[in-house]
C-alpha cells in the first residue's frame, strides 16, 4: 500500500474514518443516568416466554418474571422464589414454601396457586416438564405460600428442571395468566421479577421499556442508585445502530 501502510492498517484507518463520518468521533449527548439504553440482538415480537424458545423472549422473561429455583456457577440448583423445600425419603413427595415478601407487579401477592398453574403450563411445553408430567401423581397448593408435587416414581432431575435457565425456563405468572392454554400466547406481562414491563411504551420493532428494579430485589434496587429504567432499542441495520450511538441515544 502507499506510504508504507499495510492492507490491515489501511482497513483500520478507513473504518475509523467512516465511523467518524457518522459522528462517533464526537462526544455523545449527556445521557440520562437513570436510564440504561441498549440494543438487543434481535426484535422482540413474542412476549410469552413459555410459548417460544427464542432467546430474545427468554431474556425478556428474565426481566419481568422470576423462577422457583436458579443455578449457580456449577449448574447446581438453589432456591430462588422458594424459601424452604423438602423431599420425602422415597423421593416421591416434594414440598415447597415460598419466601416472604414476594409480590407481582400489579400489587397482588405470589401464592401457591400461582406456582401450581405456572408449573402445569410449563410442563405442557417444555421437554423437562413433559418428563415430570409422565411420572406426576399430583401437584396442588399447600396453603397460601406453598405447594406440593407428588410423583408416581422418583425423578432425580426435579430441582434441575424447575431451575433450568434456558428455553423453556419455568417463569412464574399469576394464576389467571398461567391458566391460559399453553398453545396460546399470554399477552399481558405481569410478573414478580426485577423489572416491570412498561406496556404503554412498547413499540414492536422499535423499543421495549422496563421500569425498576423492584423494591423486593434489594441487591438490584440498591436504594435508588443506578439506572431505574432499561430501554431496549430494536435496531437491525448496523449503520442505524451507529447513528443512534452518535446521537447519544445509547
pLDDT tens digit at each of 250 positions of the chain: 444 545 444 344 444 343 333 333 334 444 566 777 777 778 888 999 999 999 999 999 999 999 999 999 999 999 999 999 999 999 999 999 999 999 999 999 999 999 999 999 999 999 999 999 999 999 999 999 999 999 999 999 999 999 999 889 999 999 999 999 999 999 899 999 999 999 999 988 788 899 877 666 554 444 455 555 555 555 455 565 566 556 665 5
pTM, two decimals, is: 0.77
The predicted structure's pLDDT at residue 225: 52
Rounded Cα gap, residues 163 and 76, in angstroms: 9
The predicted structure's pLDDT at residue 35: 78
Per-residue cell: 236: 437491525
What are the beta bridge partners of residue 96? 85, 147
Domain extents for the chain? Answer: 41-193
CATH number of the domain located at residue range(s) 41-193 in this protein: 3.90.76.10
Q: 77, exposed or middle or buried, with CB in 10 Å at 0-12, 13-18, 19+?
A: buried
The predicted structure's pLDDT at residue 15: 41
The predicted structure's pLDDT at residue 231: 54
Place of cell 424458545: 53
Amino acid at each position: 500500500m502507499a506510504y508504507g501502510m499495510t492492507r490491515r492498517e489501511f482497513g483500520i484507518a478507513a473504518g475509523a474514518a467512516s465511523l467518524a463520518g457518522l459522528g462517533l468521533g464526537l462526544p455523545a449527548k449527556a445521557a440520562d443516568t437513570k436510564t440504561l439504553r441498549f440494543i438487543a440482538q434481535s426484535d422482540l415480537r413474542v412476549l410469552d416466554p413459555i410459548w417460544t424458545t427464542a432467546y430474545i423472549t427468554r431474556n425478556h422473561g428474565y426481566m419481568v418474571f422470576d423462577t422457583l429455583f436458579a443455578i449457580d456457577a456449577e449448574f447446581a440448583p438453589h432456591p430462588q422464589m422458594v424459601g424452604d423445600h423438602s423431599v420425602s425419603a422415597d423421593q416421591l413427595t416434594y414440598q415447597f414454601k415460598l419466601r416472604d415478601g414476594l409480590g407481582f407487579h400489579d400489587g397482588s401477592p405470589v401464592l401457591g396457586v400461582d406456582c401450581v398453574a405456572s408449573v402445569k403450563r410449563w410442563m405442557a411445553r417444555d421437554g423437562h416438564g413433559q418428563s415430570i408430567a409422565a411420572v406426576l401423581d399430583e401437584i396442588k397448593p399447600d396453603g397460601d405460600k406453598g405447594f406440593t408435587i407428588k410423583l408416581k416414581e422418583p425423578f432425580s432431575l426435579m430441582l434441575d428442571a424447575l431451575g433450568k435457565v434456558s428455553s423453556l425456563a419455568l417463569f412464574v405468572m399469576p394464576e389467571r395468566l398461567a391458566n391460559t392454554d399453553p398453545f396460546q400466547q399470554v399477552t399481558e406481562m405481569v410478573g414478580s421479577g426485577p423489572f416491570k414491563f412498561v406496556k404503554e411504551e412498547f413499540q414492536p420493532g422499535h423499543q421495549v421499556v422496563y421500569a425498576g428494579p423492584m423494591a423486593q430485589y434489594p441487591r438490584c434496587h440498591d436504594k435508588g442508585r443506578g439506572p431505574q429504567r432499561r430501554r431496549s432499542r430494536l435496531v437491525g441495520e448496523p449503520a442505524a445502530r451507529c447513528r443512534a450511538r452518535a446521537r447519544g441515544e445509547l
